[in-house]
Structure 1
Amino acid sequence: MEDRLKGLRKSMDKTTFKQLNFSEQHRKQVYEKINKPYENEEDIFLAVLQLLIHEKTGYELAQLLRGRGIQKFEGNEGFLYTLLHRLEKNHLIKSSWDHSEAKYYQLNDKGKKILRKAEKNSTKKRFILKELIQE
């Protein structure tokens, strides 16, 4: 490691991270938050909207949600298609069929606006968590 990076690390250890002290209760709360199942309806809705920025099939969407740790649709993909139908009915997404009979979904302008609003609310939740950790 370069000497200037070693100096930066030493400096950060002395200033930035030195004042961080977590009680056992805080550690437990953080651990529970990290390991909490990702099944909150709002979080699932946000993840679906984020993934539909680009056109995807229902199958692709299910795989990507699984990759994010969302298991609500495991073994019952019908719930996902019900959600997609509801989003389409509320004019948040558009769908189209291709030549191979696959249906693709993507956010429309109204959906993008809702996504931006949902992400702002999600950011507020992160700040609340950060304050909880710093107490």
Structure 2
Amino acid sequence: MENRLNELRKSMKNSPFNELEFNDQHRKNILEKIHKVEEKDEDIFFSVMQLLTHEKTGFELAKSLRSRGIKRFEDNEGFLYTLLHRLEKTGYIKSSWDDNGAKHYQLTNKGTKILQKAESKQSRKHLVLKELLEG
């Protein structure tokens, strides 16, 4: 085991990444890209909350998001269902199963209140959604 760790250390020292250097501009560009992705996540989150004011299945929700131009989850359906699970766990949405085995999602009273708060205070949207994401 010790020998494998030593070999790993040697290979990491010889890695092309070892010679990379980041200046302040590189760091700034990377942070900007990270923040843009976070904003997109918040936009998706906000759209999901708006769409779930009426009961929808995951398929219907995906279709509605697609019609809004949100395609982030198309190659990764797990993203959408992970988001739905997180919303359900925090109490912002509830789910139920119908007789055909389809799962339906809808906002709870708690979810409706937080959505109304976000919609009424557009200038504070970022803060409200951050509160939402953190549960």
Coarse TM-score class (shorter-chain normalised): 0.5 to 0.7
The share of aligned pairs that are identical, in percent, is 65
Q: Which ranges of structure 2 fall in alignment gaps of 5 or more residues?
A: 1-35, 126-135
Normalised by the length of structure 1, the TM-score is 0.61
Cα contact 1:46–1:119 (8 A) shared by 2: no
Q: Which has the higher helix share?
A: 2
Q: Which ranges of structure 1 fall in alignment gaps of 5 or more residues?
A: 1-35, 127-135
Measure how far apart 1:125 and its partner are.
7.2
Q: Deviations over 1:43-92 (max 9, x none)?
A: 11110000000000000000000000011111211110000000000000
Cα contact 1:97–1:104 (8 A) shared by 2: yes
- For 1:85 and 1:118, the matched residues in 2 are separated by 21
- For 1:96 and 1:63, the matched residues in 2 are separated by 19
Distance 1:75 1:107, change over 3 A: same
Q: Deviations over 1:91-130 (max 9, x none)?
A: 0001000011000000000000110122134x3279xxxx
Normalised by the length of structure 2, the TM-score is 0.61
- Which position in structure 2 is the counterpart of 1:108? 108
**After TM superposition, what 4+ stretches of structure 1 lie above 4 angstroms from structure 2?**
none
- Which position in structure 1 is the counterpart of 2:40? 40
**Larger RCO of the pair (alpha carbons < 8 Å, separation 6+):** 1
Counterpart code for 1:40: K
Which SS does the other structure have where 2:47 is aligned? helix
- Which position in structure 1 is the counterpart of 2:66? 66
Cα contact 1:94–1:107 (8 A) shared by 2: yes
Counterpart code for 2:49: L
Measure how far apart 1:41 and its partner are.
1.6
Which SS does the other structure have where 1:69 is aligned? coil
Distance 1:125 1:89, change over 3 A: closer
Counterpart code for 2:98: D
- Which position in structure 2 is the counterpart of 1:82? 82
Please provide the CA RMSD for this pair: 2.1
Which SS does the other structure have where 2:105 is aligned? strand
Which SS does the other structure have where 1:40 is aligned? helix
Counterpart code for 1:84: L
